[in-house]
Amino acid sequence: MRVVNTIVDSLDLSSLYGRYKEGGCPAYHPRMMLKVMIYSYSQKVYSSRMIAKALRENVNFMWIAGGNQPDFRTVNRFRLHMKDIIEDVFFEVVKLLIEKNYIKLQNYFLDGTKIEANANKYSFVWNRSVCNYDRKLDEKIRNHLREIDRIVAEENQIYLEEDLEEKGEHTRITAEQVAAVVESIDKKLEQEPGNKQLKKKSKEFKKDILPRKQKYEKSLKTFRGRNSYSKTDQDATFMRMKEDAMLNGQLKPGYNIQIGTENRYIVGFTIHPNPTDTKTMIPHLRHLEEKLGCLPENVIADAGYGSEENYEYLEEKNVGCYVKYNKFHWEKKKKNRENPYLAENLPYLPESDSFVCRNGKRLVHVGNRKYVTEAGYETRRDYYRCEDCSGCQYTSECKHTEKNRTIRVSHRLNELKRKANENLCSEKGLVLRSQRVVEVEQVFGRIKGCWSFRRFHLRGTDKVKIEWGLLAIAIISQNGAGGVIFPRHFW
């Protein structure tokens, strides 16, 4: 309680004060309201009604609020008022820790967790299903257009036949095109008001086809590269949640929360809609650099972040890479390390750009293929094929097809993995690897286990960011209890 009071009194809250306008009835002081919100989240009180009740009944809440008793509407309004400035407040706390030398931005331990969204778990919308329904609707539209052509016997005047011929039968029909068809049919009905067949088609387009097409287009825009979203919280994506230690769970709408810690203080956090961690590292570090003006010296993370794109980014930014890759532990096993048939263990001859198999035959370069990630990173995979596998005594163990063996290799990724392996297996790397579990998992354990925060109470990415920002500041204040951040004589 006193630590929260001391921390908030030490912050520059000019961004928060700027949200208030002059005139009108005097408002509760924003510094006092911020103290109440942070202290409430540190005490596992998340509901605005329960916070308002505690301000009337709990002496600790009375002290932190200075005797003020805002009602639940005021509490909730203030929380939503922090939508655009919660990150500024959080990073003011981080800068305070840096100033007092409790955070040095040396070893940044990065990890993520999934928190369930405040949404119905059966309100899912799947990208594949919407695409299938949209494709079937396009087929239905084309059939109707051909039938209308037969009815009015005036081809290429009303019904998109010219567009279909130019763009092909598999081109998606848009809602604007369907609306243009409806308008053209109405004009035709003005000339032939007694055409019952045309009236029936016009009614079906207006009542069924056009609304469905508009609905599918809206859904496709909402996905934004995701595979699913929830109807009750469209920013949430369906992810598999770990319900127990045996990893039994089910798909639920949620958010992927990425945090970085140092000395068990949360130094940075970001909210992501995608369930995998691989795509989150670069946006997270860019956001951290934007807020703090620099990156940490070293980044430590598990195998979920080990990709060529992430390794390249860390090397480009000259950041120490202690990030595992997916086969880091697998390749340490003796049976895999000594397997002569694995592509990772084949000798490479750089002068001839070829590999040598166990039978002494060469796998020569036969081509390459370029890949571009969603973030625009371009990578290349090279293909090598054995000149002749016929008559080889190791055929049954080396390959499972009748064709000559072909392997796919990324030389750049192998080089980056080799550097990461050297860092991870060094004396410093062993210490950091053992420390990572204590650093990040302890913070998640406190939030999800001790504080029972496993589901957000607000909806939408912006509002979720408010809740997590308050939790992050509350974690810092709890770490500072007992004089860890501020010695008792500082109070």
In a domain, 290, yes or no: no
Which of 382-391, 420-429, 455-464, 465-474 has the weakest average pLDDT? 382-391
- pLDDT at res. 480: 54
- Distance (Å, rounded) from C-alpha 38 to C-alpha 466? 11
What's the average model confidence in pLDDT over 247-257? 85
Q: How confident is the model at residue 297 (pLDDT cuts 50, 70, 90)?
A: very high
Q: Are 138 and 98 within one domain?
A: no
The per-residue pLDDT of the chain, averaged, comes to 87
Q: Which domain holds residue 134?
A: 125-229
In a domain, 358, yes or no: yes
Query: Tens digit of pLDDT for each residue in 203-244?
Result: 888 899 999 999 999 999 999 889 999 999 999 999 988 776
Per the structure, the count of domains in the chain is 3
Q: How confident is the model at residue 169 (pLDDT cuts 50, 70, 90)?
A: low
Q: Are 160 and 81 within one domain?
A: no
Q: Are 133 and 217 within one domain?
A: yes
Q: Which of 104, 99, 54, 48 is nearest to 74 (CA)?
A: 48
Q: Are 131 and 209 within one domain?
A: yes
Three-class SS of residue 54?
A: helix
In a domain, 427, yes or no: no
- Asked if residue 436 has pLDDT above 80, the reply is yes
Instruction: Note whether 39 and 1 are within 8 A (CB).
Output: yes
In a domain, 8, yes or no: yes
- Distance (Å, rounded) from C-alpha 256 to C-alpha 464? 11
Q: Which of 18, 157, 6 is nearest to 490 (CA)?
A: 6
Q: Are 22 and 86 within one domain?
A: yes
Domain boundary among 370, 391, 412: 412
Domain boundary among 177, 200, 229: 229
Query: Tens digit of pLDDT for each residue in 8-39?
Result: 888 888 888 887 777 777 788 889 999 999 99
Q: Are 59 and 151 within one domain?
A: no
Domain boundary among 229, 248, 270: 229
Which of 20-29, 171-180, 377-386, 462-471 has the weakest average pLDDT? 20-29
In a domain, 288, yes or no: no
- Asked if residue 373 has pLDDT above 80, the reply is yes
What's the average model confidence in pLDDT over 274-283? 92
Q: Are 75 and 9 within one domain?
A: yes
In a domain, 242, yes or no: no
- pLDDT at res. 230: 94
pTM of the model: 0.87
Regarding beta strands 298-301 and 237-240, do their DSSP bridges make them parallel or antiparallel, or are they unpaired? unpaired
Taking CA 231 as the corner, what is the angle to CA 229 and CA 233, rounded to the nearest 5 degrees?
A: 75
Q: Are 88 and 166 within one domain?
A: no
Q: Are 94 and 155 within one domain?
A: no
Which of 165-174, 372-381, 392-401 has the weakest average pLDDT? 165-174
Q: How confident is the model at residue 488 (pLDDT cuts 50, 70, 90)?
A: very low
Q: Are 60 and 131 within one domain?
A: no
In a domain, 400, yes or no: yes
Q: Which of 132, 206, 129 is nearest to 175 (CA)?
A: 206
In a domain, 223, yes or no: yes
Which of 43-52, 151-160, 307-316 has the weakest average pLDDT? 151-160
Regarding beta strands 107-116 and 298-301, do their DSSP bridges make them parallel or antiparallel, or are they unpaired? parallel
What's the average model confidence in pLDDT over 385-406? 87
- pLDDT at res. 158: 47
- pLDDT at res. 245: 63
pLDDT over 90 percentage in the chain: 55
Higher pLDDT, 41 or 249: 41
